[in-house]
Amino acid sequence: WIRCYLTLERKAPGYLGTTIIIPGGSKSPLWYIIRRFADKAAMERWDNSEESLKLLKEAPVEFLVFIIIPILS
């Protein structure tokens, strides 16, 4: 699911990149997802897009609670 989400997010206008930090290694239930967009408007367009909202509804239970830290350039 996360690969699909990130693949689509990369195509969003204003998208600059994503960093994922998994403290404690790949088996950790806690993931920090740091997203970078050119500006707040670009980030909000992606967050409110049909594709993003559809994928969030399809997210597995383990991804329903995750931390997204937006970084605006």
31-56, pLDDT tens digit by residue? 788 889 999 899 999 999 999 999 88
Residue 11 identity: K
pLDDT at residue 15 in the model: 94
How far apart are the C-alpha atoms of 59 and 20, rounded to whole Å? 17
Radius of gyration (C-alpha) of the chain in whole angstroms: 12
Using pLDDT thresholds of 50, 70 and 90, give the confidence band for residue 28: confident
What's the mean pLDDT when you consider all of the chain? 83
Contacts of 14 (CB under 8 A, 6+ apart): 37, 38, 39, 41, 42, 43, 45, 46
pTM metric for this prediction = 0.76
How far apart are the C-alpha atoms of 11 and 21, rounded to whole Å? 21
Reduce the DSSP state of residue 42 to 3 states and report it.
helix
